Structure 1
């Protein structure tokens, strides 16, 4: 289901993979099971609550970055936005395509890495990165943030979760880079690098974008603290 092919990597083509962004290997296996997909099938209320702001801002083009099995991509498409979605897991893209077809909506799907997005500059009004971009070392995370900035139009919005240093996983395992930990004995995605940050680091990481809202909250499991952030990219020069 491709709506409006953009320049960049053709649909269905895998773009470059770096050693520091490997967690999709674990999630590709999770998405292969019904139980694994079930845990990620419900739209997050925080994401759903942003639709009003997007409509107020007259957003039209949206990207679900690291879309998983498509819960948010399908929701955004059903909400009337032109939606694109990308994930490094072929299984994720396969199930997102099936979910979009079942819902009767169009989602432009790509297989690709989040720190090398296959889209042109300034293409989107809004980017969602839910539980995604902290899977990597600081270099990979910075590269992903730069890519988000690149593909957003001036004054665009992006909504992102990041691992907080209050999260119970912070400090567990081997520190492979600043604020980045790997647990070689883990039976989940913690065998891959996870980056944690504090509030000051979060703001610095996302400059020159300005935070519209930031709060630190637990997800479903005790101690699973994540930053929930909404950022706005700098506006371009006014046109006369």
Structure 2
């Protein structure tokens, strides 16, 4: 099967690269999301060791995982994100393996992680891009591994605004934020379908900070018996 060329739609990191250069821009994304923190007990119960923070931004979750005792990797397509994440890890005194790379071609071997976090990440692009991001998560996860992601919901107040550039994907040319780049929105049925064969363990549609900013919050498990190298 031919892999779709998603490079023309996965451009939002250009916006975020500029955001991460300012103290004000970083401040809004410096606190660990409560939903992520709440998963810590499950990860310890499952004896998770190796974790990946996908599209890590300025490193808030990567540093959190490293501080919590996990072996942590983090990747982002933004040079500035990696620079800021490195500074955050050094300030916290914790090791994080930081790399620059796209979500569609992660710089890791197959079956490398027990858990992947993709918080406000994989919907940047069109539908083909989102699907390619999920396939990469599946590739780098070990059998029985967990992954936690957010996805833009079709209940989100931005859905349908601007120009439709593909099924469920929109660009707002006059926007002043990252909506000038493609964003993909999905309903529950497509959310489940695009993550197959992973099993859905948890899902709910929740507003973020702004009224109407609905995002799916999901926890998935790859089929098979969990277990990594000893």
Cα deviation, residue 18, structure 1: 1.1
Cα deviation, residue 214, structure 1: 0.2
Cα deviation, residue 176, structure 1: 0.5
SS in 2 for 1:176: strand
State the distance in 1 between where 2:91 and 2:211 align: 34
Is residue 113 of structure 1 aligned with residue 102 of structure 2?
yes
The TM-score normalised by the length of structure 1 is: 0.91
The alignment's C-alpha RMSD in Å is: 1.4
Aligned residues between the structures? 223
Is residue 212 of structure 1 aligned with residue 212 of structure 2?
no
What pairs up with 1:11-160 in 2 under 5 angstroms? 18-160=7-149
Cα deviation, residue 17, structure 1: 8.0
1:167 maps to which of 156, 159, 169: 156
**Paired position in structure 1 for 2:210:** 221
State the distance in 2 between where 1:139 and 1:201 align: 12
SS in 2 for 1:228: strand
From the superposition, tell whether residues 220 and 237 of structure 1 become closer, same or farther in structure 2 (CA, over 3 Å).
Answer: closer
Instruction: Give per-residue Cα distances to partners, 1:139-171, cap 9 Å, x unaligned.
Output: 111111000000000000000000000000000
1:115/1:140 contact within 8 Å kept: yes
**Structure 2: unaligned runs, 5 residues or longer:** none
**Paired position in structure 2 for 1:8:** none
2:144/2:226 contact within 8 Å kept: no
The TM-score normalised by the length of structure 2 is: 0.95
**Structure 1: unaligned runs, 5 residues or longer:** 1-15
Instruction: Could you list the structure 1 runs, at least 4 aligned residues long, displaced by more than 6 angstroms after superposition.
Output: none
State the distance in 2 between where 1:73 and 1:169 align: 28
Cα deviation, residue 236, structure 1: 5.0
